[in-house]
Structure formats: structure tokens, C-alpha cells
Structure 1
Amino acid sequence: MTAMSSEVRTLHVSSLHLAAVPAAVSVSRWFVRQVLRHWKLDDQIDDAALMMSELVSNAIKATGFQGRQPKLWEITAHHIIAIQLRVVDGALYIEVWDPSLLSPVKQTVTAEDEGGRGLHLVEALAKDWGIYRPPAGGKIVWAKVLLITPPHPALDESTLQLRAPVETEPPHGPVREQASTALLQRVLDGLRQLL
């Protein structure tokens, strides 16, 4: 057995599917706080929540309802996004999937502009960021943060039960499955890179 194969590698993953509605931004911040608190990565919560909310805002612009809360029957498969937090070894990945193929673009902003700084913030806070196009379709915009200490959730066999507000829960169907497959593909590809 080589030294490389005897290294302990950690993997922690938590994901959530949401309707691409304005409320998804606050739900995504809540999700980050709950998961990172459970993983005992409290020092990463503020930056990770900010990055997640910026990436979710972009996903909503690409696929969702902007500026208004839709009626439940207006939400279709096209309006589903998925968010994921993943720790592999010493890095935290903040990932947002949406079905749109359009890439987010860093905007040129002035001091007077009220918006358009999302990707600039992500770039400033993350070690790296990018776009991944999974074989399942759509895109995942991700940000990578290096960790000083690894996650260490309680080993009491309890699981973190996340409950999203009912009004943000998307309908089940093929796009929701596509989102799950895409996020899983990103995890598998990340693990393959470690080998």
C-alpha cells in the first residue's frame, strides 16, 4: 500500500431542490447556515451564505420568476434549481444547478449601480470558481473555498433534517431528477480527480 492510497479522504455532501422563485435566495442562505453549523464549519458560514445567495440569484434570473412570487400552478419543471454543499478533503464547494445553458456573465459595474456585483463577490471570496456542464444537462456554477479545519459533524448517527418552506418546494418530475443526476455527476467527477 502506497502512502497516497492510505490517506484518509473526507467527503460530506448535502443538497436541496428549490423552485426558482425569489424566496429561494433566503432559503439557500438558511440551508448553508444549517449544513455548515452541522459540519462544525461555523467560520465559513457568512462567506459561503453570501456566495450561495449570489449564485442562486443568478440561477433565478436564468430560469425563474424575477420580482414576484408565482402561484404554485405557474411553477413548471423549467423553474427548478438545485443547490449543493460539498466538502472533499480540504475544500468546500458551493454549487448551484439550473437547467439553462446560458453562462452567467460578470458585469461591468459603477459605484452607482445597485446590482451586478454577484460574480465579482464570488470571485473575491472563493479560491476558484467556474461553470461545469454535466452530461445530464443544464449547468452547475460552483465556487471553491479552502478550509483551515476539516468538517467534524457529530458521530451520533443523527442526520441533518432540512425542511424547506412548502412554497419553495418544486414539483417532482424529470427536471428534478436531472438536477439530482447533474449534482451527483459533479461529485463523482470531483472524486475521480482525487485519484
Structure 2
Amino acid sequence: MNRTAAPQLYYATSLRLAAVPSAVGCSRMFVRQALRRWKVPDYVDVAELVVSELVTNAVKATGITEPQPRWTAITAEHVVAVQLRITDRRLYVEVWDRSTDAPVRKDPDDDTEGGRGLPLIEAMTEGWDVYRPAVGGKVVWAEMSLDEPPKPPPFPAMPIRVPNEIRPPGGRMERVATTALMQRVLDGLRELV
């Protein structure tokens, strides 16, 4: 029986956001902060681009695309989740949304506006795919190789506090997003054994 060794290093952090256009900028800041804390700053630019494209697609699929939506329009169903994960020397950027529809790769010409996100991700990562967890929705993920393992600080930093007024609504969709991302991690770890 051919078994792959269990991962030696494992780091993960996630964030849930309201599925509105400002989620893209928030997810970029989240990626930048996490990768700098893990001491892998060389991957910040690529990971920010990847998360921008994936969160943009998630917001278009399940969120409110108005540039400045009214807060009363945002419901518990308007949630996206972002997860960064490092397993040994592999960096994964994962974005969950409640739609089961896979993103469609387009081949735009020079005059076409938009549609360049997935080709960009393909060019800058080792691959991407869609995972459909049992709890619903989908996780779109991209994978990159790290030249060297992360070197996080010896003790955890204080968690970032978000005021209740701007925190995305909790409840069922928040639990579904968390479960979907964790199921992707567990299934990936099972494949290693």
C-alpha cells in the first residue's frame, strides 16, 4: 500500500464576509496580513490577486453587486468565506459561496471587458478546481508551491476584533461556510493517508 506521509506543517486561517463588492478589498487585506504573519511575504502579491478574482466571482454568484448596497439589503444568505491554508510547502487559497454553479473559464479577446480572472489564476498558480462540500455551495480553490516552509511567530497574535455593525450576519450561512471550508481541509488530509 502506497501511503503519503502526514503533513509536517499545517496552518489555516479563515474569514467570513458579507457578499458585497467591499469583500474583495477586505479579503486582500486578510491575505496580506496572514501571509506576512506566517513569514511568507513573497507570495502576497499572487495570493492577493487570486483571492480578488475568486471573491469577485463569489460575490457575482451569490451576493449584491451594487457598489454601495444598502445595509438593509444584506441578508444572512449574502455570505462568502475565505480560507488560507498551508500544508507543508503548499499554499491554498479557498473561497466558499452558497452557489453550486462552477465558475466558467472564458477566453476573452483584447476588446472584451472582464473574463480574465480564471486564465490569470491558471497562469499564476499550479492549478485551481471546484469542491462541492456536503453542506452545500462550493469551494473554489487555487494551489501554489512555496519555496520554503512558513515561519510564524512562536505565539499567536491577538485576534482582530470586528465591530458588530460591520460584521457579516452569523447564523446558518456562517455555520455552512465554516463547515464547507473545514470539510475541504479534512477531505484533503484524508487523501494524504
TM value normalised by structure 2: 0.93
Q: Could you tell which deviates more after superposition, 99-108 or 139-148?
A: 99-108
Measured after TM superposition, the shift of residue 160 of structure 1 is 5.3
Give the alignment of 1:166-185 within 5 angstroms: 169-185=167-183
Structure 2: tracts of 5 or more residues without a match:
none
Offset at residue 173 of structure 1 (A) = 0.9
Post-superposition, which runs of at least 4 consecutive aligned residues in structure 1 deviate over 6 A? none
Residues 90, 170 of structure 1: alpha-carbon distance in 2 compared, 3 angstrom cutoff = same
Q: What does residue range 112-127 of structure 1 map to in structure 2 within 5 Å? A: 112-127=111-126
- The CA deviation at 1:165 is 7.4
SS at match of 1:27: helix
The 2-side partners of 1:134 and 1:47 are apart by 26
- Distance (Å, rounded) in 1 between the aligned partners of 2:54 and 2:162: 18
Residue 189 of structure 1 corresponds to which residue in structure 2? 187
Residue matched to 2:70: 71
Q: Which structure 1 segments of 5+ residues have no match?
A: none
CA distances 1:11-50 after superposition (whole Å, capped 9, x unpaired): 1000000001010000010000000000001000000000
Q: Name the CA shift for 1:188/1:8 in 2 (closer, same or farther; >3 Å).
A: closer
Tell me if structure 1 keeps the 8 A contact 2:17–2:80: yes
Q: Does structure 2 retain, via aligned residues, the 8 Å contact 1:27–1:164?
A: no
Q: Which residue of 2 aligns with 1:38?
A: 37
Q: CA 1:148/1:167 → structure 2, altered by over 3 Å: closer, same or farther? A: farther
What is the percentage of aligned positions where both structures have the same residue?
50
1:92-107 to structure 2, matched below 5 A, reads 92-107=91-106
Following superposition, the deviation at residue 170 of structure 1 comes to: 1.1
What's the offset of the Cα at 1:108?
A: 2.4
Superposed CA RMSD: 1.8
3-state DSSP of counterpart to 1:95? strand
Amino acid at match of 1:192: R
User: Quick check: 1:23–1:168 contact (8 Å CA) kept in 2?
Assistant: no
Report SS of the residue matched to 1:159.
coil
What pairs up with 1:100-179 in 2 under 5 angstroms?
Answer: 100-155=99-154, 157-159=155-157, 161-163=159-161, 169-179=167-177
Q: How many residues align?
A: 191
Q: Equivalents in 1 of 2:114, 2:163: separation in Å?
A: 27
Please give the alpha-carbon distance, in whole angstroms, between the structure 2 residues aligned to 1:45 and 1:166: 28
Contact in 1 for aligned 2:107/2:119 (Cα 8 Å): no
Are the aligned partners of 1:36 and 1:45 in contact in 2 as well (CA < 8 Å)?
Answer: yes
Q: Residue 72 of structure 1 contacts residue 167 of structure 1 at CA under 8 Å; is this kept in 2?
A: no
Is the 1:38–1:160 contact (alpha carbons within 8 Å) kept by the matching residues of 2? no
Partner residue in 1 for 2:8: 9
Deviates more, 1:21-30 or 1:68-77: 68-77
1:164 Cα deviation from its structure 2 partner: 5.3
Supply the distance in 2 between the matched residues of 1:166 and 1:121 (Cα, whole angstroms): 35
Give the CA deviation at 1:166: 6.2
Rate the CA distance shift 1:58–1:8 in 2: closer, same or farther, 3 A: closer
Q: Show CA shifts across 1:138-157 (max 9, x none).
A: 000000001111111010x2
Give yes or no for contact 1:91–1:147 (8 Å, CA) kept in 2: yes
